[in-house]
Structure 1
Amino acid sequence: MFVSSHNITLFLNKHKLHTRPHAGHGLWLMFLLPAALITSAAAHPVMSSSTYKLSSIFSVGLLFSSLIFLYESSKTVRLKVTNVWLILACCIVAGLLQICLHRGLLFSFWSAIVSTVLYHSLYFSVLKNMPNCFSLGEAAICCQSYILLLYFTVINILNNIIRPATSMMQMSTLTIQVGLIGLSAIIFISYQFGIKNPLKFYILTGLIFAFVVVVPLQILLKTNPLLWILTLFWEDLQRNKVLVYWVLFSLVAVVFVNRRIKRAKKASTIGRKIFHFLIIAVFIPGLLYNCCLLYLASGVILGIFFMLEVLRVLNIPPLAEALQNGLVVFGDEKDTGIIAFTPMYLLAGCSLPLWIHPAPCDVTNSAVFNLLPLLSGVLSIGVGDTAASIVGSKFGTHHWRGSRKTVEGTVACIGSQLLAIFLFVFCDFIKLSNMDYVKTALAIIIGAITEAKTDQVDNLVLPFIMYIILIV
């Protein structure tokens, strides 16, 4: 379906919606997350649980809703929360749930409404209340992710009541989901009631953390979640080593940031890539030797990142001033709205393959069995994007048409990722057939060209592109 950029702009102006400046609409991003989930379920029918298969059909609703938004915006008509197209989409999704997964009528329609009407409403609300933060495509990915979080938190809680979680992955998933819902409640109440007083904010945070996160998890997991997490970190020597390793690299990041802030000098593009190196150093050992712990830690750290951003935006002491100084020094040109999403995008981009893969960690608590697709974020962002930035800024002279990116940077992006793949093969962490080599090379080349040409947030886009190609 062809969508006129001019009509989209007229639609945005009509509804007084302000997207991220100096960026295209990025409409194609709307289909990345649903495509990744549907492709994963199709590629791994045996490995995919019933809940994961549910997510793939749920994604069909997200796709329909995105298409409906594109139709409405292309015609510059008034955006409606409910219309005949959304009702039709609901019926199709509900029918798929009944036919493919044999779900009940009430459950099927409830699920369909969440994936279409609720998502449609949330998407418009985010665009209206968070001006200049997203392109249309970036907002779609974030809203789709949040709707999936809300829906599957409810599903997992209900499943846990019937059949309590026993594995570390199940317990970690529930902990992350309930924790992020609690954080959402803090953000929503603080925004809705304009809470900026530090004492009121910390009281609110303490109450929600206790009664929305800790107590429900205590009931669901039948153990104190905080003690459970601490026990995980210290119950065996290998986890101790991984934890100490992560703490050391975290301290390196803190020292580096603190020194840069004291110098009060804006970090260059290369200077910001220190965080990409840290991501590589943290994720690769985690994937190889303690996948479940990395899975849990990535979700917890994402919540901490969001909480720190809330403290900065609301100017809550004692961390607000330091966080604001850090943004001034390390802020990306894409952080144009009230919220700086760059740190969250970097972490989420590297973690996304781990979060959306149907079975990321095998029985040995490593990701070696599925390592290649799970490296999508680390390779495309940590390795490729970093190499492209360093080589492009230092040695780049030939620019892509209509882009600030250079051909030299793109070549470095491709070469560095291919070298990383060969190193994994040489160390016997990955085994590739001839077809796998072709597919991997294709994923790397397409990702590198996208990195060079797109004006969307590459930390969010590139992992999806590589993952979708590699998972097939």
Structure 2
Amino acid sequence: MFDNLKIFSEKLTNQHRTLIAPLDKNITLHIQEGGIQLRPSKSNGLWCQFLIPLVLLMYCVLDKVTLLYKFNTFLSLGLLMYCSLFVLFLSLSSLVVKEPVYGGCLASSLISTLFIYGALNQGLLFSFIISLSTVLSFVWLLRHSLMHLPKTFTIGEAVVVNQSVILFVATLLLNWILELPRKDNETFFIHVVTLTVLVAVAFMNVLMYFLNNILRNMRSLILIVSTGATFVLVTLHFVIGMDFMEQAISFIFFVGYRKEIIAFWLILVALSICALSVRTKLAVKATTVTRKTFHVLASLVFLSGILYDVQLMLLAAGVGLGAIIFVEAVRKSNIEPASSMLQAAFLTYSDEKDCGTFAMTPLYLYAGLACPLILVPSYDADHTLELLSGVLSIGIGDTAASWFGSRFGFNKWSDSNRTMEGTAFNILSQIGTVYTLIIFELIDAKNTLVRTAFVATVTSLVEATTDQVDNLVLPLVSIAAFQVTRFVL
């Protein structure tokens, strides 16, 4: 069986070398000539540009989505158009990155403009302004990421990250511009708290960035955190009301099993901190299998939240994202001794892909587990598998493949250090997890095992062959694969 898989792998590799490799090679050549430092990788991950637009577009076709979701979908098509032109330009010259070249922006924005104007019945001028602003912002951010954050991204990773950031900001602005009605009080509460926390984190990061070297000490850090906390409390009292604290306590402690879920999460967080502290004190470099322990712990948080209380999970995911970004900012801020302690932990647990300006792998893990909560338009039972895409693909499958492959793997995929035994165990672990959830009646969706088998096979093959960061791309591939199964099952 493994011999047949090797033949299949070699055929795919040969097709890649014939169709994609020449374009990829030209891009790599021009990147090197331009002195642009990308994350070391065998390929540039050009295929990643399609992931987010594809997921959004398929949900527009398959589900009844909101006006805001349709806006994001059509804006993403404009970004995809520019990404395609960007790849073409980059295969000819690195000037598209090094210089403020905005060729293709107008044509790309017209794609989004036509869809928004024609399909959503919005004004032509408004459609054009929002589309052009989105594309121009994306171009500036993409150039900045590649030029000023050396060895942090491949082309594909930079595109996915910047698409996500731009579409998230566009969502916030459109929600305000269009004055969309509230869904319900709980959803409004979650969105306001999450946005306020993220704004406060951005504010605190800016303060740390411009902090004078003389003032880079723990006293200043405590003052900055206190200022951020004060901003959050004051803002929430003004926006939600004077009874904000009462609503927050009611939301957390007096709805369903939220007390128990939060207690479980706190235990997992405590275990993570203990493991991190012990390993850091020993100053022993963590192995790949050891790092995957945190994948399991993080996956347990999201698995329990998604299965038992998606709304609580959504709030926790937003607040947690802000916390992770702030911790990384503190690590880079040279505020002692906090920065040194975080740097020591980073050096212990970092892998070869964390060679850039920021520690992106932990952020990718968190974003990969949480992204289905934003991309999946409905939280009903039929979408549970899609909400668990991140958990299954990187929390369960990727971890299982790493552990099993490192111990029992011998047959390697063509042009890869991943093993076929690890890939097989990746598939079986995802199917086994879903089957266990079915036994305990935690999942009730049509053709669950068949869909999971197909998706697990797709994601495990991608995991085995790609050199892009698994935590970033596998959840998106998993969501897209689950969407495909809805067409045929």
TM-score, normalised to structure 1, is: 0.90
Q: Aligned-pair distance for 1:85?
A: 2.3
- Asked if 1:51 is matched to 2:68, the reply is yes
Please report how far the alpha carbon of residue 164 of structure 1 lies from its aligned counterpart in structure 2 after TM superposition: 5.1
Match of 1:4 among 23, 37, 41: 23
2:471 is equivalent to residue 459 of structure 1: yes
Aligned residues: 461
Match of 1:365 in 2: none
Query: For residues 93 and 394 of structure 1, do their structure 2 counterparts lie closer, same or farther at Cα, with a shift above 3 Å needed?
Result: same
CA contact (8 A) 1:277 1:382 kept: yes
* Compared CA separation, residues 225 and 126, structure 1 to 2 (3 A): farther
Alignment of 1:298-313 (within 5 A): 298-313=317-332
Which of 278, 281, 293 is equivalent to 2:297?
278
- The aligned counterpart of 1:29 is 48
Alignment of 1:84-103 (within 5 A): 85-103=104-122
The 5 Å alignment of 1:300-449 reads 300-360=319-379, 362=380, 368-434=381-447, 437-449=449-461
Provide closer, same or farther for how the CA distance between residues 356 and 225 of structure 1 changes in structure 2, counting only shifts above 3 A: farther
Instruction: Kindly provide the CA deviation profile for residues 292-312 of structure 1, in whole angstroms up to 9, marking residues without a partner as x.
Output: 001110111111011001111
Of the three residues 188, 193, 197, the one matched with 1:179 is: 197
Pairs within 5 Å for 1:208-219: 210-211=230-231, 213-219=232-238
In structure 2, relative to structure 1, the CA distance for the partners of 1:101 and 1:125 (3 Å cut) is: same
Residue 164 to residue 397, structure 1, CA distance change in 2 (3 Å): closer
> Per the alignment, in what secondary structure is the counterpart of residue 132 of structure 2?
helix
Q: Which runs of 5+ in 2 are unaligned?
A: 1-18, 485-489
What CA distance in whole angstroms lies between the structure 1 residues aligned with 2:226 and 2:129?
A: 33
- Counterpart contact for 1:156–1:174, Cα < 8 Å: no
* 1:187-244 deviation digits (Å, cap 9, x = unpaired): 4564467777235565555556655x55444444335766654442223361111111
Instruction: Please list the CA deviations of residues 122-164 of structure 1 after superposition, one character each: whole Å capped at 9, or x if unmatched.
Output: 101111110001111111111111111211122233456x645
Equivalences for 1:143-162 in 2 at 5 Å?
Answer: 143-158=162-177
CA RMSD, Structure 1 to Structure 2 (Å)? 2.5
- 1:288 and 2:311 matched: no
State the one-letter code of the partner of 1:463.
P
Deviation of residue 58 (structure 1)? 1.2
The residue type paired with residue 98 of structure 1 is: Y
Name the aligned partner's letter for residue 354 of structure 2. D
Q: Is the 8 A contact 1:81 1:117 kept in 2?
A: no
Using the TM superposition, name which of 181-190 and 392-401 deviates more: 181-190
Cα distance in 2 between the residues matched to 1:113 and 1:102: 18
Distance in 2 between the 1:444 and 1:316 partners?
Answer: 44
Q: Which structure 2 residues correspond to residues 116-195 of structure 1 after superposition, within 5 A?
A: 116-158=135-177, 163=181, 166-188=184-206, 190-191=208-209
Q: Distance in 1 between matches of 2:245 and 2:285?
A: 38
| Secondary structure of 2:377's aligned partner | coil
Matched AA of 1:377: G
Q: 1:11 to 1:290 in 2, by over 3 A?
A: same
Contact 1:175 1:225 in 2 (8 A): no
Displacement, 1:377? 0.6
Residue identity matched to 2:35:
K
Deviation of 1:354 after TM superposition, in Å, equals 1.3
Q: Cα 1:206–1:224, aligned 2, differ >3 Å: closer, same or farther?
A: farther
Contact 1:64–1:89 under 8 Å retained in 2: yes
1:247 to 241, 248, 266: 266
Residue 202 to residue 75, structure 1, CA distance change in 2 (3 Å) = farther
Question: Identity across aligned pairs (percent)?
Answer: 31
The answer on whether the counterparts of 2:276 and 2:345 sit within 8 Å (CA) in structure 1 is: yes
Bigger mean CA deviation after superposition, 14-23 or 49-58 = 14-23
- Give the deviation of 1:263 after TM superposition: 1.5
Supply the distance in 1 between the matched residues of 2:55 and 2:138 (Cα, whole angstroms): 18
Q: Shift of the alpha carbon at 1:427? A: 2.5
| CA distance in 1 between partners of 2:148 and 2:244 (Å) | 34
Say yes or no: does 1:40 pair with 2:59. yes
CA contact (8 A) 1:7 1:74 kept: yes
Extract unaligned runs of 5+ from structure 1.
Answer: 363-367
Q: Could you tell me how far apart the structure 2 residues matched to 1:60 and 1:91 are?
A: 10
Contact conserved, 2:216 with 2:334, CA < 8 A, in 1? no
Aligned letter for 2:268?
Answer: F
* Displacement of 1:426: 2.4
- Distance, in Å, in 2 between the alignment partners of 1:463 and 1:331 is 21
Report the 3-state secondary structure (helix = DSSP H, G, I; strand = E; otherwise coil) of the residue aligned with 2:257: helix
Evaluate the alpha carbon distance shift between residue 31 and residue 236 of structure 1 in structure 2; reply closer, same or farther with a 3 A threshold: same
How big is each residue's C-alpha offset from its partner over 1:242-273, in whole Å with a ceiling of 9 and x where there is no partner? 11111111111111111111211111111111
Show the counterpart of 1:76: 93
Contact 2:204 2:225 in 1 (8 A): yes
Equivalent residues of 2:41, 2:468 under 8 A apart? no
Shift of 1:78: 2.7
Distance 1:236 1:382, change over 3 A: same
State which drifts further: 437-446 or 396-405.
437-446
Q: Is the 8 A contact 2:261 2:305 kept in 1?
A: yes
